Amino acid sequence: MDSYDKAKVVIVGGAIMGSFAAWFLRRKGFTGDIIVVEKDPSYRFCSTALSAASIRTQFGTPVNIHMSLYGVEFFRGIKETFGPDADIGYIENGYLILGSPDTVDARRAAVKMQRTAGADVVAMSPEDIFSHFPYMALDDVGIGTFGVTGEGWFDAWSLLSLVRSAARSMDVRYLSEKVTGFEVVADRVRAIRLGNGDRLPCDWCVMAAGAASGALTATLGQALPVTPRKRTVFSFRAPLTANNFPMLFDSSGIWVRPEGEGFIGGIQPPSDQDPDATDDFEPHHALMEDVFWPALASRVPAMEELRLDRSWAGHYENNELDHNGVLGPHDEIHNLVFATGFSGHGVMHAPAAGRGVAEVIIDGAYTSLDLSPLGYHRIRTGTPLHESIIY
């Protein structure tokens, strides 16, 4: 499309993906109408607000590493972008991913690939790990990989608030309604239907509805294997200082990191207890005592004494094909652009994904990072791009 003064973009989903797409469209000079449709203006059940909000460069897929590196650059420059008062509480304290002795060769190969892609990641022996983190028990550990720089965590709600406010200040309209369907003529989405009976004509439709994207895409008669899975976060205190504690991914499957004066952590439920979680936000309380706490105390003995403050559950947008995001234009409905399915790493990759959406719409192609490996073509052909490092 050569002229944008009268073009209209409708973005389905107003959380981190949709807001970054809208903001980057304006930042790149799109002057037409941009409407972001968000069914929950309170963001109470929004995956962004309920996430663990972290960023890492330790991935098994190079495109994810490159997206993270851009995210790190973006977060480091948050004040230059949004003003001197902008603060997302960004802390670079590294990810420590522990592996058993039988994973040493594969993990070292992964570190080599990650470093080639630009990540500042190192492999550590058990002795190296203990010298840095002496509070850990490491008898069953053969290797650890650690992000020396460019890995950490932040406040996702603050990030969403910043980019949403900035988008609105640039005449992006947020509409509080539920999307119920789409009008498709030939190879284009012509309008979005809303729960109140209205329709929004569009020249571009961006699917950024997170865990709900699969169900919405099905109303178009198209496949998108993205479903909501419930993930519980436990917030607790323990007799251990958080100053030298990384984001820990343990070989048992648990994760834990500092948060304020305490810690947060979690673990996926067993696969036979992990159904589609549409409308289900009740925490998996039993996971704390039955699975998470024993594994945590085994790895960090000081945490055998902990006090649970609270727990909450959010939705993980699970791409069942390969645990990677789906990004870019649909292969048949040419004005439908995806930004969804990131399987737990959406918040960290939202800046790169939003910029990519804007490039597709304005430039007709990616002009910064080549994000085409995440395209819809692999959904159509059932050709996965597997992300191997997931929690």
Q: Across all residues in the chain, what is the average pLDDT?
A: 96
- Confidence check: pLDDT of 157 > 90: yes
- Confidence check: pLDDT of 308 > 80: yes
- Tokens found for residue 47: 């995956």
* Strands ordered across the beta sheet of 143-147: 121-124, 143-147, 95-99, 247-249, 255-259, 262-266, 226-237, 307-319
Contact predicate 202/189, CB 8 Å: yes
Convert the pLDDT of each residue in 40-73 to its tens digit. Answer: 989 999 999 999 999 999 999 999 999 999 999 9
How are beta strands 95-99 and 143-147 bridged, if at all?
Answer: antiparallel
Q: What are phi and psi of 327, to 5 degrees?
A: -140, 135
Q: What are phi and psi of 94, to 5 degrees?
A: 80, 155
In sequence order, the 6+-apart residues with CB closer than 8 A to the CB of 185 are none
Q: Which residues pair with 315 in a beta bridge?
A: 230
Q: Could you give the CA distance from residue 147 to residue 373 in angstroms, rounded to a whole number? A: 24
CA 17 from centroid of its chain's CA atoms: 9
Could you tell me the domains of the chain? 8-52+156-225+321-381 (3.50.50.60), 92-151+230-316 (3.30.9.10)
Could you tell me which residue, 1 or 255, shows the higher pLDDT?
Answer: 255
| pLDDT recorded at residue 301 | 97
Q: According to the 3-state scheme, what is the secondary structure of 19-87?
A: HHHHHHHHHCCCCCEEEEEECCCCCCCCHHHHCCCEECCCCCCHHHHHHHHHHHHHHHCHHHHHCCCCC
Neighbour count for residue 154 (Cβ, 10 Å): 21
| pLDDT recorded at residue 390 | 87
CA atoms within 13 A on the CB side of 52: 28
What is the pTM for the complete model shown? 0.96
Measuring CA to CA, which residue among 331, 328, 333, 326 is closest to residue 202? 333
pLDDT > 70: what percent of the chain?
99
- Confidence check: pLDDT of 184 > 90: yes
Contact predicate 262/237, CB 8 Å: yes
Contact predicate 112/88, CB 8 Å: no
Which residue shows structure tokens 């006090």? Answer: 307
Convert the pLDDT of each residue in 357-381 to its tens digit. Answer: 999 999 999 999 999 999 999 999 9
Measuring CA to CA, which residue among 15, 7, 66 is closest to residue 31? 7
b/e per residue, 32-55, with b = 16+ CB within 10 A? bbbbbbbbeeebeebbbbbbbbbb
Convert the pLDDT of each residue in 101-137 to its tens digit. Answer: 999 999 999 999 999 999 999 999 999 999 999 999 9
Which residue shows structure tokens 């499309």? Answer: 1
- Confidence check: pLDDT of 153 > 80: yes
Q: Could you give the CA distance from residue 320 to residue 266 in angstroms, rounded to a whole number? A: 21
Q: Could you give the CA distance from residue 207 to residue 204 in angstroms, rounded to a whole number? A: 10
- Confidence check: pLDDT of 183 > 50: yes
| pLDDT recorded at residue 92 | 97
| pLDDT recorded at residue 2 | 44
